[in-house]
């Protein structure tokens, strides 16, 4: 894997502001307080994925992150009733939610469609996020 991790721990105010503005246009963030969206952003790391690069798949352990597409598109592919099912996720969409909530590996191969930047929210912070913003968990 050729990952260029972009750690968002030392975020500038302009980066936080820009990401907050971007996220507050999509659910569940549009229904959350700004401080809670900022908590989400400050808890994330950001990862770049090259075109066609596998982000997560069934051969991985249970996800350690919720993945939110900041920029780019992700393609999901899985077998369902013996047929290949393919779908596309766009910027602002999250994935691995079901697997995070059940503690099991994903059943889908998620790949970057093109250059893709993913915000990765640690699973260990999901309970705190649920306390701060119940709409996040309800989503």
Query: Which pLDDT value is given to residue 7?
Result: 42
CA distance readout (Å), 11 to 8, 29, 44 = 5, 19, 10
Q: What is the pLDDT of residues 50-94, one digit of tens each?
A: 999 999 999 999 999 999 999 999 999 998 888 999 999 999 899
Q: Which of 11-15, 38-42, 77-81 has the lowest mean pLDDT?
A: 11-15
Enter the tokens of residue 84. 């290949």
Report the percentage of the chain scoring pLDDT > 90. 60
Q: Which of 87, 92, 126 is nearest to 110 (CA)?
A: 87
Structure tokens at 31: 């229904």
Whole-prediction pTM:
0.84
13 Rama sector, left if φ>0, alpha if ψ -120 to 50, beta otherwise: alpha
């Amino acid at each position: 894997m050729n990952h260029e991790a972009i750690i968002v721990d030392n975020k500038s105010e302009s980066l936080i502001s820009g990401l907050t503005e971007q996220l507050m246009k999509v659910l569940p963030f549009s229904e959350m307080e700004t401080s809670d969206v900022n908590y989400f952003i400050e808890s994330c790391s950001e990862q770049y994925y090259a075109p066609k690069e596998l982000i997560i798949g069934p051969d991985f352990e249970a996800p350690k992150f919720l993945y939110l597409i900041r920029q780019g598109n992700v393609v999901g592919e899985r077998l369902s009733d013996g047929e290949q099912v393919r779908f596309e996720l766009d910027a602002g969409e999250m994935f691995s939610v079901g697997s995070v909530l059940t503690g099991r590996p994903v059943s889908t191969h998620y790949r970057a469609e093109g250059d893709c930047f993913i915000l990765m929210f640690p699973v260990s912070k999901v309970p705190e996020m649920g306390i701060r913003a119940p709409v996040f968990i309800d989503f």
